[in-house]
Amino acid sequence: MSFPFQTVALIGKHKNPEIIAPLLRLGLYLEARKLEVVVDCLTAENMPEKKYTAMTMEDIGRQADLAIVLGGDGTMLNIARKLAPFDVPLVGVNQGRLGFLTDLSIETMLKTLDSMLDGKYVEERRMLLYVEVLRDEAIAFSALALNDVAVSRGVGGNMIEFEVRINGEYVYSLRSDGLIIATPTGSTAYALSAGGPILHPSLDLIALVPVSPHTLSNRPIVVGPDAAVEILMHRTAVARVHSDSHSHLDLQENDRIIVRRSPHEVTLLHAADHSYYRMLREKLGWSGLPRNPAC
């Protein structure tokens, strides 16, 4: 990571006109700080004037020192996967409610960025997963995931059946609606709704969370970062594999899904006063200690 930052990329939620005004305001602010401003090609298409150089994601990865993403967590997930191979640090600005990944608000972004661009920030490294599907020993699908890789039955389908191996060792066979393989980042997403544990993002761990298993003794398992998780499909119905609920492939019987840690990581920058636990309280609605009723 290059600091102080010289070239800053602005990336907005695709086809969202409401993001253009704050993006232009942010661009003027960065120019006033004598920084070079570029935008990604898709964002540039929606801007009323071509004021800033438009770049592909690959060029942003090679040339930008920092990328500021305006949108929501879904937008950040998409951009993080694309820029992870280039190790460009990311700052997330949320246009609505603050997110798990986009934790700056549009209303206070300039004040917060003023401190961050002076070097007052918290840096987090987040692990990613790499998934590939082998069909007849050929790679039929591959993708990166910041949140999770999920194998799930399709809409209206029956339970699917598969076996799970970790580092080549048989663990169990499962009849369920699916299985989520989640990073610590993804532990507060789909995996949380399926009863998985919350993992602090500083940990390098992988969680395996069954979705509505037929046998109630099938519980979530947390394994180390070097684990290679292999899923062999036996009964697929209309099953699919998803990467961050984005890229997907329809599965067939005898497909092998292999999930392991990616060599790439994502770097997120937060304000100096960022607190993961405060964010959990706000996002998950955790309350304080109960009070005794008045007598």
Determine whether 73 is an active site residue. yes
Gap between the Cα atoms of 240 and 227, Å rounded: 22
Cis check for the bond before 4: say yes or no (omega within 30 of 0): yes
* Distances, alpha carbon 146 to alpha carbons 101, 250, 255, 276, in Å: 11, 21, 23, 17
The residue-averaged pLDDT of 123-140 equals 97
Neighbour count for residue 257 (Cβ, 10 Å): 23
Is domain 7-119 classified as CATH 3.40.50.10330? yes
User: What per-residue confidence (pLDDT) applies to 295?
Assistant: 46
The answer to whether domain 7-119 and domain 128-263 are alike in fold is no
- The domain limits of the chain are 7-119, 128-263
Active-site option among 40, 59, 65, 73: 73
Tokens representing 43 are 């964002």
Architecture of the domain made up of 128-263: Sandwich (2.60)
Gap between the Cα atoms of 190 and 282, Å rounded: 18
Helix, strand or coil for residue 87? coil
Q: In DSSP terms, which residues pair with 261 in a beta bridge? A: 129
Nearest Cα neighbor of 178 from 149, 203, 200 is 149
Q: Scanning the structure block, which residue is given the tokens 């120019």?
A: 31
User: What per-residue confidence (pLDDT) applies to 23?
Assistant: 93
Gap between the Cα atoms of 25 and 139, Å rounded: 45
**209 burial via Cβ count (<10 Å: 0-12, 13-18, 19+):** buried
Contacts of 292 (CB under 8 A, 6+ apart): none
Q: Scanning the structure block, which residue is given the tokens 């405060």?
A: 278
Please state the pTM of the whole predicted model: 0.92
pLDDT tens sequence across 246-268: 899 999 999 999 999 999 999 99
Max mean pLDDT among 18-22, 60-64, 234-238 falls in: 60-64
Gap between the Cα atoms of 126 and 84, Å rounded: 10
